[in-house]
Amino acid sequence: IIEKAYLSYRDRQMFILLKHAVRAAEQSWTFDILRKISPREAELLNDPSVNAKVRFRFAGAEFPPIILFKIYLISNGTKYISGKKIIRPATNAAQDACRLMGHRKFYDQLIVDACQYEKDKITDEMDITTVKDYMQYLSNLDEMPSYLGGKGNYWRQLSLEALPRQNIMYDIMEYLRTKTQSARLQAEMPIMMSRPVTQEIQIEQFRALSRLPSPPSSAYPFTKAHVHHQVGATPSRRSTQSRKRVARMRKIY
């Protein structure tokens, strides 16, 4: 009973920590994730006219959950252009496309569009009749590959390889995987476990996610005297046999 109660308490604490971290990461973490996962995509969305935002959600059938992310564009002036919308059937544009592509590729594209319609039922704006159909159309448009006229913007799994090691989110994901807290996570745990009911707590959580660890003293360049001292010194952890061998070689030399 005690073990079951402890595991339940630990899982609840992990979920609260993960929920607060994900909520704070949505506000201050868009470009860092994109720059690590897809540099080209990050360079495209770094345009000041494009207001991009990363959304997170949990998935999976067991605990701990899997974190998924998706990119959203919040801009009224951005419009997605697709040849599937521009080239309509029974038009001069369709005839020109058939002549340029060739009959084989053109017919293959028609077959793919027909199969896509049989699968999703709502693949074009002409198929929309209700608000539910419109939401389904947007979902299909996001998940459809770009070569079929979609955006290819589906929910992707957030892994450790996609996270900067300097960010505390890496420690949180490692904690979910190994059940072991790092020293940095233990120091930031009180603020990350707090409910973001006030603006001050939210700001502190944002700072915790964007705060970088101070470099260790060994990261600074050595001075010339220090390097000379290290070269001339004899390691203290050598075995007795190795020290005797070195002394014998020096005597022979």
Least confident interval from 14-23, 49-58, 175-184, 216-225: 216-225
Rounded to whole angstroms, the Cα distance separating 211 from 209 reads 6
Sequence-ordered list of residues with C-beta below 8 angstroms from that of 31, at least 6 positions apart, any chain? 42, 45, 46
Give the residue from 92, 140, 83, 80 showing the smallest Cα distance to 116: 140
Rounded to whole angstroms, the Cα distance separating 246 from 227 reads 21
pLDDT at residue 92 greater than cutoff 50? yes
Angle, in degrees to the nearest 10, between helices 168-178 and 199-210:
80
Per-residue pLDDT of 93-143, as tens digits, reads: 888 888 888 888 888 888 888 888 888 888 777 788 888 888 888 888 888
Question: Looking at per-residue confidence, does 139 or 178 come out higher?
Answer: 139
Mean pLDDT of the region 139-165: 77
Rounded to whole angstroms, the Cα distance separating 125 from 134 reads 8
pLDDT category, 206, cuts 50, 70, 90? low
Above pLDDT 70, what percent of the chain? 74
Which pair of structure tokens corresponds to residue 184? Answer: 């940095």
Mean pLDDT of the region 169-175: 76
Least confident interval from 69-73, 139-143, 242-246: 242-246
Phi, psi of 57 (to 5 degrees): -155, 160
